[in-house]
Amino acid sequence: MKPEPKVRLRGVYKIFGPRDKQMVERVQNGLNKESLLNDHGHVLGLQDINVDMQAGEITVVMGLSGSGKSTLIRHLNRLIDPTAGEILVDGQDVTKLSAQDLRALRQTKMAMVFQKFALLPHRTVLQNAATALAVQGADRATQEQEAQRWLTRVGLAGYEDRYPAQLSGGMQQRVGIARALTAGTDIMLMDEAFSALDPLIRTDMQDLLLELQVELKKTVVFITHDLDEALKLADHLVILKDGAVIQQGEPQGILLNPADPYIEDFVSDINRARVLRVRSVMKPLADVPFAGDVAAHDTLEQLIALSGGDTTLTYRVMQDDVPVGILDMKELVRALVPRVSS
């Protein structure tokens, strides 16, 4: 049984327009996004969002442009107020917080990493990394000590006295991550944090986030329009379309069992061998001959290389040195073929 979610959204709607409260009932009664705009001049941002985000996990919210993903993340720290619904953080409804309590929430519970870095150009790297602690009122020695610690952790030791304009885009985003970590919050909100970066730098930043997450176990809410990025980072994946959740769950399960033609189209071009893990296609333990051991977290691509493409082989699957299943190479081959709609 899972513990109570760190963040919980219940029945969240967002309608942009002067009569938003009146429009909620119409949407609940079946009015679609197009008719809401054409007939009533209102925009449907979010529709009946119900998502649980567990402590210590990366929840990735993805969708195409206009799907509502950035609108959703801005509800968590109430940069946008919902038209209806509850947003619970540690069981407390954010929508009911006073202005003072909301400021405290933003300063002590949530840090945000932005797509365009949002660094202060007139401040040094060290000063930028210390921004959150400065706002919290920490003394200068504490600010500099914590900022230095996290700059070193993200690979920027020696750059403390530089200014943002003197750094590459990837280095600037490392400063943004260090700033969020320096805040010491449980929750990190990352809105398209890597999408402005070149592909190789983007991969490096994804790897850095996963490396930090192993150590820190933050509750991360990550917004992206890139499915490869989502599948790489997510513990829990939420896919939006037109402001509504189309499917959510463990990303490997979504890839193997898309619940909607929209999702099937979304995942059809993915390199499944590179994304799918052995644990997703293994079978229960059985007393059969096996060619060797493989790790549950290995990709199918790694297993194909190990087997030399021999589909007659079976492998024992290990997790923390304990046998947990078997994988028949014929099952692996079947898993590589996307499901076709009937």
Boundary of a domain, candidates 250, 271, 292: 271
In-domain check, residue 267: yes
- The pTM assigned to this predicted structure is 0.88
Same domain, 185 and 80: yes
Contact 216, 209 (CB under 8 A): no
Same domain, 124 and 165: yes
Dihedral sign computed on CA atoms, order 16, 24, 12, 232: negative
Q: Give the separation between CA 300 and CA 294, rounded to whole angstroms.
A: 10
Residue 334 pLDDT: 87
CATH number at residue 266: 3.40.50.300
Boundary of a domain, candidates 271, 301, 322: 271
Residue 312 pLDDT: 92
Same domain, 309 and 245: no
Same domain, 175 and 114: yes
In-domain check, residue 149: yes
Residue 22 pLDDT: 94
Boundary of a domain, candidates 271, 296, 317: 271
Residues paired with 44 in a beta bridge: 15
Same domain, 179 and 285: no
What phi, psi does 81 have (nearest 5°)?
A: -90, 135
Same domain, 154 and 255: yes
DSSP string, 110-144: EEEE-TT----TTS-HHHHHTHHHHHHT--HHHHH
- Low-confidence residues of the chain: pLDDT under 50: none
Residue 1 pLDDT: 65
Same domain, 234 and 303: no
Residue 340 pLDDT: 59
Same domain, 205 and 158: yes
In-domain check, residue 41: no
Residue 339 pLDDT: 64
Same domain, 262 and 323: no
Contact 96, 105 (CB under 8 A): no
Same domain, 165 and 229: yes
Same domain, 260 and 296: no
Residue 240 pLDDT: 95
In-domain check, residue 31: no
Total number of domains in the chain: 2
In-domain check, residue 37: no
Contact 67, 242 (CB under 8 A): yes
- Structural domain span for residue 330: 273-335
